[in-house]
Structure 1
């Protein structure tokens, strides 16, 4: 698995997103939550990922976008380590549920914890 985050890997389908939140399961490593759903796509990618930051806690779009960039970069760097030999296809939504800003080191560490919890829960 390469270290890119292409357009085809992004979760964009409104139907799949609503199904993800209604039927999906979640794991948490504060201030992050991962909502996941086993599904199937037409593409060869095994994961489709979206990120979200609450508008309630971060009123300014600049702050929300900064945290979303951190989340996407952390996912991009860690996906090859944790999901290289994954067999089934999953839809992921990574949510930032904290109320304060953060640094890349903290987000990266918590993303690694989140993926470890996901792997332990799904027994990949």
Structure 2
């Protein structure tokens, strides 16, 4: 498809992280910690749980008050986590779409310094790929 000036127009993928995609339920968070699996991929600690019932993919983001005394720093870290997840969640959405199960994920930032966006983007990508790999291993 081309426009009148000859430039090509490609279809753009829109990325969302809406209210329904967020992990907010205390009950779901408790189940995540009790029955879920976890791994560390510095500077992230990732908890995930795959259940038979539920609705799709939910994700939560956390930064410790112990590591970040100022709320502005904690909010910045969580904002960066949400943004890097939002842009890459299609990696794991493909896994959810193929099954009728739900996946709950919690990302905890464990480093003591505010991250650079590029570093966090790369770490989030490898963490999501590792979740997908572990979910495939559990299915077999």
Instruction: Answer yes or no: is the 8 Å Cα contact 1:34–1:94 preserved in 2.
Output: yes
Residues 43-54 of structure 1: matches in 2 within 5 Å?
A: 43=55, 46-54=56-64
Pairwise CA distance, 1:85: 4.1
Pairwise CA distance, 1:121: 1.4
Tell me, yes or no, if structure 1 residue 117 matches structure 2 residue 130.
Answer: yes
Q: Which runs of 5+ in 2 are unaligned?
A: 1-12
Higher Rg of the two aligned structures: 2
Runs (4 or more) in structure 1 with deviation over 3 Å come to none
Q: What CA distance in whole angstroms lies between the structure 2 residues aligned with 1:36 and 1:51?
A: 12
Pairwise CA distance, 1:27: 2.2
The residue that corresponds to 2:28 in the other structure is 16
Pairwise CA distance, 1:28: 2.0
Q: Which runs of 5+ in 1 are unaligned?
A: none
The residue that corresponds to 1:73 in the other structure is 83
Q: What CA distance in whole angstroms lies between the structure 2 residues aligned with 1:59 and 1:91?
A: 28
Tell me, yes or no, if structure 1 residue 4 matches structure 2 residue 16.
Answer: yes
Q: Which has the higher contact order (CA 8 A, sep 6+)?
A: 1
Q: CA RMSD in A?
A: 1.7
Q: What CA distance in whole angstroms lies between the structure 2 residues aligned with 1:91 and 1:117?
A: 15
Number of corresponding residues:
121
